[in-house]
Amino acid sequence: MSRCAGENVRVQNMLRLAAMGAAALALPGCLARAAVDVVTLPVKAVSAGVDAVTTSQSEADEKRGREIRKREEKLGELDRAYAQQSRRCGDGDDKACKRAAALSAEIEALTRGEPET
């Protein structure tokens, strides 16, 4: 073996030894981190389950706001349909009078807070 080849082998051996030493130092930290992860896993799972089941006040407020907006949209649609049927009823359309009465009852039920049918 040549002199350069022998030096290369020694350098490679020293690099391997240094890499193994670094790995040996890093391993205890890795094991400690894994132990912490295993210990905290049940706590994280339970807290995630509780978060999924409970509703915060802001979420409840947002939901209520959406319900109110939907209800107001529905009331607007019913009111426009009622106005149209009332005009037709005034022109002598008996079917329009019946539809206007049904729409009026639906508007009344919705304003009282009864669920839609």
The mean pLDDT of 24-47, rounded to a whole number, is: 64
Amino acid at 101: A
pLDDT digits (tens, 9 = 90+) for 90-107: 999 899 999 999 999 999
CA distance linking residue 78 with residue 67, whole number of Å: 16
3-state percent breakdown (helix, strand, coil) of the chain, nearest 5:
90, 0, 10
The pLDDT of residue 117 is: 44
